[in-house]
Structure 1
Amino acid sequence: MADARDVRVLHTMIRVLDLERSLDFYTRILGMKLLRRNDYPAGEFTLAFVGYGDEKSQAVIELTHNWGRKEPYVIGDGFGHIAIGARDIYALCDELKKAGGKVVREPGPMKHGSTHIAFVEDPDGYKIELIQVD
């Protein structure tokens, strides 16, 4: 087994139907940075990596766009959500709504706990949990 200091989560990959719309959501609405973007013409796909910090120190999200796909992806019932911590999810949700983001669960305490959470949805229907952190 690897020593925990030698391993870390690098990224989570999700497939997106409209890459430009997804990049707009993750960068303009959620405030992430486009870290890198590569086209792979032989495979007819593009990979775009977005995140809040450098990939060398933080986990990021890989947006995979398969060229020519017309039908939305089915989000499996095993997938839950991506979680993002923020100091003030109430203000963040207000900002997200003003920017055109879709808040699908308003901020508030968990049903069976004291942690405050909210959920937003990206253009492809992926849920993003916002968790109030100190």
Structure 2
Amino acid sequence: MRNTDAPAVVPSRILYTMVRVTDLNRSIAFYRDTLGMHELRRETFSDARFTLVFIGYGDETSNAVLELTYNWDQGAYSHGTGYGHVALEVIDIYGACERLTSLGVKVTRAPGPMKVAPDETGERETIAFIEDPDGYRIELIENNRA
């Protein structure tokens, strides 16, 4: 009988999050030019008519990345109600949102602190939300401890 609690059989890290995109070049430009990510690798499956682009910060061996999936014959997608968002860390959230706005990025929630419930105390993180070219939500979370 296998030990199902052994480290070898328990997942140990997030590899990537996949999002489907309608215009691969537009999406790569958005994540690269506005969010500072780098294309890490590309896989093209001509017979199945799709391309995968892995994009992120740093390398895939120690960082979670995004997989942009471009199905060649698909013109649009419905996000449904199950998808939430991708969260990215930023040191200066107000400056980041100014920069993104100047680049034409849609800010859907202006930067500001999370509201604390009346019965809670303490500070909450400062966040903002933006959208990528396909309407996927991206949360920016300020980490000014750097």
The interval holding the TM-score normalised by the smaller chain is over 0.9
Amino acid at match of 1:108: G
> How far, CA to CA, are the matches of 1:131 and 1:45 in structure 2?
32
Q: Percent identity, aligned pairs only?
A: 53
1:29–1:100 contact (8 Å) kept in structure 2: no
> How far, CA to CA, are the matches of 1:63 and 1:35 in structure 2?
11
Amino acid at match of 1:19: L
Amino acid at match of 1:28: D
Calculate the TM-score normalised by the size of structure 1.
Answer: 0.93
2:126 alignment counterpart: 116
Structure 1 residues 1-134: aligned runs within 5 Å: 1-3=5-7, 7-70=12-75, 72-112=76-116, 114-133=124-143, 134=145
Amino acid at match of 2:133: P
> How far, CA to CA, are the matches of 2:87 and 2:115 in structure 1?
17
Q: Do the aligned partners of residues 83 and 2 (structure 1) sit closer, same or farther apart at CA in structure 2, a change above 3 Å counting? A: farther
* Deviation per residue, 1:66-118 (Å, 9 max, x gap): 00212x21112111100001111111111111122111111001123621000
- Aligned-pair CA distance for 1:2: 4.9
State the SS of the aligned residue for 1:46: strand
Specify every segment of 5 or more residues in structure 1 that has no aligned partner in the other structure, as ranges: none
State the SS of the aligned residue for 1:37: strand
State the superposition RMSD in angstroms. 1.7
Amino acid at match of 1:14: V
Q: Which has the larger radius of gyration?
A: 2
Calculate the TM-score normalised by the size of structure 2.
Answer: 0.85
